[in-house]
Amino acid sequence: MTTPPEYTPPIPRWRPEGASILQRLRLARKDVFSSQPKRLYRAWMAQQNAILFDSYTINQPDLIKTILEDRPDDFPKSNIIQDTLKLLLGEAVFVTNGETWKRQRRIIDPAFEGGRLREVFPAMVAAGQASVARLAPQATGTPTEIEFETAHAAADVIFRTLFSIPITDEKATAVFHGFRAYQRAQPLMTFPALLKAPKWVPRFRSSKSARAAQAIRNVLADIIAQRQDQLAAGTAPDDLATKIMTTADPQTGDIFGAKEMVDQVAIFFLAGHETSASALAWTLYLLAAQPHVQERAAAEAQAAWGDAPDFANMRNLAYVRDIFREALRLYPPVPMMVREATRPETFRSRTVKPGSLCILSPWHLQRHERLWDRPHVFDPDRWQTAETRKTARDAYMPFSKGPRVCTGAGFAMIEGVILLALLLRAYRFETVEGKTPVPVQHLTVRSEEGIWLRITPRLPEGSPSGGTPSI
Ligand code: HEM
């Protein structure tokens, strides 16, 4: 058997040589990737002078460690991000800093401890099975936009694990469209935020993005009010929402109030559904582009789970897990993170002034040409080598690192494997000619025109055609 040639999947556009600051700002408003220079795939640190402050993209592992792990309090989250997400997230853990953030993490973290992953497994499987059933009418080989379904499935996972309720089609569609509308109406960065204008400078957010954010928050507020009633009546189910709403801060003894809980649920929803949807859609695209990898993964999923998925056999899904890891390396859903220096720093013999932005880019780090072997090639088997594991210690951070690491990292890793295994047992995915996706940075990494795939049932061997896909 011949070895298939190496596959290099789509990479984003980079900015034209000699682009002016104004051109760069315009590009960044549409898609941050296209405002970035190509040299970031090789540089250890690159300075970009904005009009009022400096910004540095930092790829050097020991400097990343300083910022995220050793001295995170000296590099708080930049309010560029707060500015953009305020309408939707209020004071959620994703955007706060200092003591407020520390208190929020003390209340939230216990809900996501490793031990609870076994408890969320059945809800994740149920969401995966619902996704398989939803796709059945589209599994005719006609092109399907798969991001829609991965977002629907990831939203279902969040609803089932947080609130013990399956997402109804209507709600999922409303929330999904709400998020899309919000993303379209709300640029990733507003001009005043990019220029770090003081808070009193008007941000001119469109009324469309305000409406989209409010619509999402209204759905979430309803659900939380209902849960408060259930908690008062002693009828609340034992799920993530109950755990978070009843966990007291070990230092102060207080719990989240209703408004604060809406903020937190909004971020679980945003962080937990946008990111997983992006990761799953890109993984399915990679598998469609590499049929031999897909066939091997489907066979593993079939063998690991037989008739019924179970938690203990998750360990037999090593190849599916490596595929998901490799997809998170090439298409990290959160491609860049922004921090702000609060005191003078010397990085690579350069003085970084207080107020400068430090951009940490999983996108560039995980494809860095001086750190990774064949950095742009899709190769899930690389995760079985000691060399990759060594490189990954310094140069792989799809979930960030340090105390601000993603709260849902363990959750997302089992969710990805479960959903992929269930989808691959049921269906075969193929690329569509003329529809190669172009990665762009919205809130997460998406494809400019969606990710289009042909889906057909993967019928069990020997079954008559037209049988029901296995779930
Ligand atoms: C593949 C899926 C996911 C990826 C790649 C991902 C990635 C990340 C990254 C990179 C950050 C750090 C952002 C920054 O510091 O600027 C983050 C933070 C966060 N993520 Fe995730 N995430 C995923 C899924 C989830 C899920 C499923 C949840 C919850 C259910 C979640 C909840 C959060 C929260 C609450 C934060 C804020 C943590 C803090 O600032 O203290 N994420 N995530």
CA dihedral 130→135→137→140, nearest 10 degrees, is -150
- Write down the H helix ranges in 186-257: 191-194, 207-233, 240-246
pLDDT at 84 exceeding the cut of 80: no
Q: Which residue minimizes the CA distance to atom 9 of ligand 1? A: 399
Question: Looking at 98-242, which runs of residues are DSSP E strands?
Answer: 143-145
Q: What are the pocket residues of ligand 1 if the criterion is a CB atom closer than 6 Å to any ligand atom?
A: 93-94, 105, 267-268, 271-272, 275-276, 279, 333-334, 337, 398-400, 404, 406-408, 411-412
Q: Which residue minimizes the CA distance to atom 1 of ligand 1? A: 276
- Give the nearest ligand 1 atom to 154 CA: 27
pLDDT at 322 exceeding the cut of 50: yes
Structural domain span for residue 411: 85-339+369-457
Give the model's pLDDT for residue 291: 97
Question: Closest Cα to residue 331, out of 359, 358, 366, 297?
Answer: 366
- Give the nearest ligand 1 atom to 162 CA: 30
Q: Which residue minimizes the CA distance to atom 16 of ligand 1? A: 337
Residue 302 C-beta-side C-alpha neighbours within 13 Å: 16
With respect to residue 57, please indicate whether it lies within any of the assigned structural domains. Answer: no
Pocket test for ligand 1, best of 124, 275, 328, 443 (most atoms within 8 A of CB): 275
Give the model's pLDDT for residue 103: 96
How much distance in Å is there from the Cα of 109 to the middle of ligand 1?
A: 12
Other beta carbons less than 10 A from residue 31's beta carbon = 20
How much distance in Å is there from the Cα of 88 to the middle of ligand 1?
A: 16
How much distance in Å is there from the Cα of 396 to the middle of ligand 1?
A: 15
- Give the nearest ligand 1 atom to 273 CA: 27
How much distance in Å is there from the Cα of 356 to the middle of ligand 1?
A: 24
Tell me the pLDDT tens digit for each residue of 193-224: 444 544 444 444 567 778 888 888 888 888 89
Across the range 46-60, mean pLDDT stands at: 84
Across the range 228-254, mean pLDDT stands at: 94
Its pTM stands at 0.92
With respect to residue 4, please indicate whether it lies within any of the assigned structural domains. Answer: no
CA 204 to chain centre: 27
Q: How confident is the model at residue 256 (pLDDT cuts 50, 70, 90)?
A: very high
Which residues, in sequence order, are CB contacts of 358 under 8 Å at separation 6+? Answer: 55, 56, 58, 67, 75, 338, 339, 340, 341, 352
Name the residue type at position 328.
L
| 241 vs 49: which has the higher pLDDT | 241
Using CA atoms, how far apart are residues 145 and 246, in angstroms rounded to an integer? 39
Tell me the pLDDT tens digit for each residue of 340-395: 999 999 999 999 999 999 999 999 999 999 999 999 999 999 999 999 999 999 99
Name the residue type at position 327.
A
Across the range 262-283, mean pLDDT stands at: 91
In order of 88, 409, 471, the CA distances from 82 in angstroms are: 10, 22, 41
CA dihedral 150→155→160→162, nearest 10 degrees, is 140
Do the Cβ atoms of 136 and 456 come closer than 8 Å?
Answer: no
> What percentage of the chain has pLDDT greater than the value 70?
88
How much distance in Å is there from the Cα of 312 to the middle of ligand 1?
A: 26
Other beta carbons less than 10 A from residue 426's beta carbon = 25
How much distance in Å is there from the Cα of 445 to the middle of ligand 1?
A: 14
Give the model's pLDDT for residue 205: 52
Give the model's pLDDT for residue 169: 47
Phi, psi of 77 (to 5 degrees): -65, 140
Using CA atoms, how far apart are residues 235 and 390, in angstroms rounded to an integer? 48
Q: What's the chain's average pLDDT?
A: 88
Tell me the pLDDT tens digit for each residue of 407-462: 999 999 999 999 999 999 999 999 999 999 999 987 789 898 999 999 999 976 54
Number of domains making up the chain:
1
How much distance in Å is there from the Cα of 185 to the middle of ligand 1?
A: 23
With respect to residue 444, please indicate whether it lies within any of the assigned structural domains. Answer: yes
Using CA atoms, how far apart are residues 147 and 331, in angstroms rounded to an integer? 14
Tell me the pLDDT tens digit for each residue of 86-107: 888 899 999 999 999 999 999 9
Q: Read off the CATH number of the domain in which 167 is found.
A: 1.10.630.10
Tell me the pLDDT tens digit for each residue of 378-393: 999 999 999 999 999 9
Name the residue type at position 254.
D
Q: Which residue has tokens 């000691």?
A: 386
CA 424 to chain centre: 21
How much distance in Å is there from the Cα of 444 to the middle of ligand 1?
A: 11
Name the residue type at position 131.
S
With respect to residue 33, please indicate whether it lies within any of the assigned structural domains. Answer: no
Using CA atoms, how far apart are residues 54 and 298, in angstroms rounded to an integer? 48
- Edge-to-edge order in the sheet of strand 427-431: 143-145, 452-457, 427-431
With respect to residue 71, please indicate whether it lies within any of the assigned structural domains. Answer: no
Burial class, 238, CB count within 10 angstroms (exposed 0-12 / middle 13-18 / buried 19+): exposed
Q: How confident is the model at residue 60 (pLDDT cuts 50, 70, 90)?
A: very high
How much distance in Å is there from the Cα of 447 to the middle of ligand 1?
A: 20
With respect to residue 464, please indicate whether it lies within any of the assigned structural domains. Answer: no
With respect to residue 361, please indicate whether it lies within any of the assigned structural domains. Answer: no
Give the model's pLDDT for residue 48: 78
With respect to residue 119, please indicate whether it lies within any of the assigned structural domains. Answer: yes
Pocket test for ligand 1, best of 105, 240, 406, 419 (most atoms within 8 A of CB): 406
